[in-house]
Amino acid sequence: MPRDSQLLHPRRTPATPLNAATVLLLRDAPHGASTLEVLMTRRSAKASFVPGAYVFPGGGIEAQDAAPEAHALADRRPAQTGERLTEALAALRESFEELGILLARHADGRWADAADIAALDRHAPFAAQVAARGLRLAADAMYPLAHWTADRNLPKRFAVPFLVARMPPGQEPVADEAEQFEPVWVRPADALARHEAGQFFMIFPTIRTLQRLAQYDSVQAVLDAVAQEQPLWSTCPRSGFLAGKLQHYMEHEPPYGELALVCPDGHGQHPLDWQCERPVPLLKNVQRLTAANPGVMTGPGTNSYVVGEAATGHIVIDPGPADTEHIERLWRAAGGDIRAIVCTHSHPDHFPGAAPLQAMAVAHGRPAPPILGLPSAPTARAASHFVPDRALDDGELLVLSGRGLEGQLTHTLQVVHTPGHAANHLCLLLREDGLLFSGDHILNGSTTIIDPPDGNMADYLDSLARLDALCAEHGVEFIAPAHGYVLCDARAVIAQLQAHRLAREARVLAAMQAEPQGTLADWTRRAYDDVPPRMWPLAQRSLLAHVERIRMLEPGND
């Protein structure tokens, strides 16, 4: 966890979320079409929350939803106890008050009909009326789909389970014409298209829920998906600025981790545009500059990091290609005080800028900052030949220290040898702030290529296990990769990467078994059939690394 003193924004306590519930009432399109439809309504233009938006019926959870008499009226599944039942009853009540939809049954199992609905007053206590009518509330027909907690930067926030239920037969929605208007059955894809055209305003959680719902073609398919009684996803999105607009991101999306690092309490002020002209502050003692070398292998470009501050001097990690403008920006970002230059490995998008940056320091009358790293192995390609001024030792500590306005300052980078992507690859752990600089070992948005002979899959997986242990030991939450945004939940990222590599290796093994006499190209076509063919030449390099590991693990090859 980064020190509070290094955060760019002061700590604050986000607003406490209010509990609410919503329900997606679903039906299969009439006239025999196998197309899913969901019921939506338009909120009042005078509403205090998202006025004019198209939403699913729902609202705040009230005391009456948790009352024993309401619970006693409900049919429930074993998994619906306590809080889960209260949520279902709140969504059920709100769907009746807003749209006149009544998920309730008679004692003989018949669904409530138009006569039952007409006999109930939408503005009177709900449970007592249901009981008087001899009905049972069909909470057992409502299943958890998702759980949304509003972004931390909002002054009014809600924590909302999104439930799903099949529309009761023989009922028609009738809006209350106070909070809700214009009930409409709509295909998820159509709602999304109309929103994009500016004709159907929706907020972020609604949009993302419809995107997931659009994957299903029937009500039964949705109910089958939620039968495990667990939400398909739970999220508390974060927001940042992209192309001048505030955008929202869920946990699985690339910018999320960076927003969690820079704006942990939801300030939402962080720019996410990839650019090369200006340093991007991540912490007070960490800046990122991205080189102007975007591409298939480099993503938005190679990230160079400047660690330190004026009182301590700076260490530059991965100066990138020998790009004069990029080198000058690194020099300015460090205020001309660079104590060392560290190269995570010797691939040509990472280390060539080291010598020009060192020369720039000398040209400005400064001591030459040593170029540190590990020398390239004999297995490295010619373009990756690298000899540092000094080779770093595994576990070595690089310390920046000085006295600032707040007292003594220390920033410690621990060297971690992590062969796999390259034989001389290393990572760096900023120990005081729990931030791992992962070089190319862990990337955001893609998996790194393991290219034999300098790359080795067995070493790569062993290094991942070592990084996981290191993260556990030091409480590391964030990873700053050489390509892409910062990642959060470091150990989960590593676990996902390990699982992905082993799953891919199982596919490689299956391909080898299916075509024992096949070529690497044959096996790549099978094992990477979920990857665009244009990427197969690159994938074939990692496939070879998997093949070498598989053969190494065969009996007799200890």
- 439 and 512 in a single domain? The answer is no
DSSP lists the bridge partners of residue 338 as 314
- 219 and 331 in a single domain? The answer is no
Could you give the CA distance from residue 411 to residue 435 in angstroms, rounded to a whole number?
11
* Residue from 89, 82, 102, 83 nearest 140 by CA: 89
Residue 13 falls inside a structural domain: no
Tokens of 141: 């027909």
What is the predicted pLDDT for the residue at 267?
Answer: 81
Residue 479 falls inside a structural domain: yes
Could you give the CA distance from residue 412 to residue 402 in angstroms, rounded to a whole number?
12
Residue 267 falls inside a structural domain: no
H helix or E strand, kind and range, residue 525: helix 520-527
Residue-wise pLDDT for 473-524, tens only, equals: 999 999 999 999 999 999 999 999 999 999 999 999 999 999 999 999 999 9
- 39 and 186 in a single domain? The answer is yes
Residue 395 falls inside a structural domain: yes
- 470 and 326 in a single domain? The answer is yes
Cβ distance 229 to 87 under 8 Å? Answer: no
Among 236, 264, 293, residue at a domain's last position: 236
- 340 and 468 in a single domain? The answer is yes
Residue 407 falls inside a structural domain: yes
- 313 and 368 in a single domain? The answer is yes
Residue 262 falls inside a structural domain: no
Please report, for residues 118, 158, 182, the alpha-carbon distance to residue 178 in angstroms, rounded to integers and kept in the order given.
18, 21, 11
Q: Which CATH number characterizes residue 417's domain?
A: 3.60.15.10
- 39 and 121 in a single domain? The answer is yes
Q: Which CATH number characterizes residue 180's domain?
A: 3.90.79.10
Among 211, 236, 261, residue at a domain's last position: 236
Cβ distance 166 to 223 under 8 Å? Answer: yes
Residue-wise pLDDT for 23-63, tens only, equals: 999 999 886 566 899 999 998 888 777 888 999 999 999 99
- 386 and 530 in a single domain? The answer is no
H helix and E strand count, the chain? 15, 25
Residue 432 falls inside a structural domain: yes
What are the 10-residue block averages of pLDDT along the chain, 558 residues in total? Answer: 92 94 94 82 82 93 95 95 96 95 96 94 92 96 97 93 96 87 93 95 96 95 94 96 94 97 90 97 98 94 97 97 97 97 97 98 96 97 96 98 87 98 98 97 94 97 98 97 98 97 97 96 96 94 96 77
Report angle CA 504, 254, 21 to the nearest 5 degrees: 105
DSSP lists the bridge partners of residue 23 as 163
- 411 and 481 in a single domain? The answer is yes
- 393 and 488 in a single domain? The answer is yes
Domain count, the chain: 3
Range of the domain at 544: 501-553
Phi then psi for 124, rounded to 5 degrees? Answer: -100, 165
How many other CB atoms are there within 10 angstroms of residue 462's CB atom?
Answer: 14
* Residue from 186, 261, 183 nearest 6 by CA: 261
- 153 and 203 in a single domain? The answer is yes
- 137 and 212 in a single domain? The answer is yes
Dihedral angle over CA of 254, 206, 49, 12, nearest 10: -20
Residue 8 falls inside a structural domain: no
